[in-house]
Copies of this chain bind each other. A is one copy, B any other.
Amino acid sequence: MKKHNFSAGPCILPQSVFKESSEAILNFNHSGLSILEISHRSKDFMAVMEEAQHLALDLLRLEDKGYKALFLQGGASTQFLMAAYNLLEKKAAYLNTGTWSSKAIKEAKLFGEVEEVASSKDKNFNYIPKNYSIPADADYLHCTSNNTIFGTQIKEFPTVNIPLVCDMSSDIFSRELDFSKFDLIYAGAQKNMGPAGTTLVVVKEDILGKVSRQIPSMLDYQVHIGKDSMFNTPPVFAVYTSMLTLRWIKQKGGIAGVQKLNEEKAALMYGEIDRNPLFEGFAALEDRSMMNATFNLKDEKLKDLFEDLAKVAHINGINGHRSVGGYRASMYNALPKESVEVLVNVMKELETQA
């Protein structure tokens, strides 16, 4: 029995991607070889890496605009330090909207001064700060587009004259944005892009090479660019599966196509959270994430009944993160609308039975 998987990441991917990647492990491209045993320098894999890079830039509409797409290892957590290693000469500005922003700030402090331009920590990160000022002399501004844990999302990005760096781990490829506003975008694959094990980095080349420190090869964006993301052995299978997922997004009509479905799912989900007297949302209304809906039961005594009903309905992964409690329904690109309908029905059923 297939589950309705609301897991926050790693998370559900398109069923066609599971099927194709499973087959490629037995026989990749009719080569008589597994995708797991081919050389990363083989023609077949070079083509995969190229297509993945091309699709990423194409979907973001960043082709021929001075950007490079890299598929690295180490997760977004490694980007917390790489961004600073490559860009922070003296001072950087950080917007603190949650756990992941806070961790990015912690790593950046090892490399220079960090000015926190605003924080929503005062309300356990349930909103996105607005109207803050950004130091014009900062080397860059760093922000987190979607706060996976707290279920908030930046709807309007600040306009700045310094490089704009964004951790888009949990909402990349889910909604249209003017991506050319950003100079460095990074995202762990394991939400909208593929399995855990690779990290997409999209970087505008002209912001690089400006810090005075020496950068170890594996942490240097310019080194990876110089080798087209093949400086060392890439995570072959994770890149291949990401490429399949990017193809699937393209087939769905690109970001605009999946965005439409994401909006429908979010409307359904938040509609029920608001309508149903047993539940309340966690995040400020105007900052609600289209990806991760965080909500609570008003009456804790209904916990067991709600969770039993969800289990019977084959629902997986709705427990909230410990820093928020309650529930979190993650509705990434590949989650079918039907899964949201099932969850909404469970919420309605609880109302009937309670």
A-side residues, CB < 8 A to B, are 1-3, 5, 7-13, 18-19, 21-23, 25-26, 31-34, 36-40, 73-78, 80-81, 85, 103, 106-107, 110, 188, 190, 195-198, 214, 216-219, 231-238, 241, 314, 316-317
Check if B232 sits within 8 Å of A235, measured CB to CB. no
Known: A8-B39, A18-B37, A197-B238. 4 other contacts (CB 8 A): A74-B218, A107-B216, A190-B233, A196-B236
Check if B75 sits within 8 Å of A233, measured CB to CB. yes
9 A-B pairs with least C-beta separation:
A197-B235, A77-B232, A73-B73, A81-B216, A22-B25, A36-B195, A196-B236, A75-B232, A73-B74
Query: Nearest Cβ in chain B — how far from A162, in angstroms?
Result: 23
Contact A218/B5 with A196-B40, A196-B233 known, Cβ cut-off 8 Å: no
Check if B5 sits within 8 Å of A37, measured CB to CB. yes
The secondary structure that dominates the A interface is loop
Question: How far is it, in angstroms, between the C-alpha of A75 and the C-alpha of B74 when the chains are bound?
Answer: 9
Which one, B38, B73, B74, B188, contacts A10 given CB within 8 A?
A: B38
Which one, B25, B32, B110, B197, contacts A73 given CB within 8 A?
A: B197
Check if A197 sits within 8 Å of B39, measured CB to CB. no
Question: How far is it, in angstroms, between the C-alpha of A140 and the C-alpha of B227 when the chains are bound?
Answer: 31
Which one, B31, B73, B314, contacts A235 given CB within 8 A?
A: B73
Which has the most chain B C-beta neighbours within 10 Å: A9, A33, A37, A80?
A37
Which one, B81, B236, B314, contacts A219 given CB within 8 A?
A: B81
Which one, B13, B33, B196, contacts A3 given CB within 8 A?
A: B33
Query: Nearest Cβ in chain B — how far from A109, in angstroms?
Result: 9
In the complex, the chain B residue whose C-beta lies closest to that of A22 is B25
Question: How far is it, in angstroms, between the C-alpha of A10 and the C-alpha of B44 when the chains are bound?
Answer: 13
Query: Nearest Cβ in chain B — how far from A270, in angstroms?
Result: 23
Query: Nearest Cβ in chain B — how far from A195, in angstroms?
Result: 4
Check if A317 sits within 8 Å of B36, measured CB to CB. no
Question: How far is it, in angstroms, between the C-alpha of A64 and the C-alpha of B13 when the chains are bound?
Answer: 40
Check if B18 sits within 8 Å of A34, measured CB to CB. yes
Question: How far is it, in angstroms, between the C-alpha of A19 and the C-alpha of B34 when the chains are bound?
Answer: 10
In the bound complex, residues from chain B placing their C-beta under 8 Å from that of A197 are 73, 197-198, 235-238
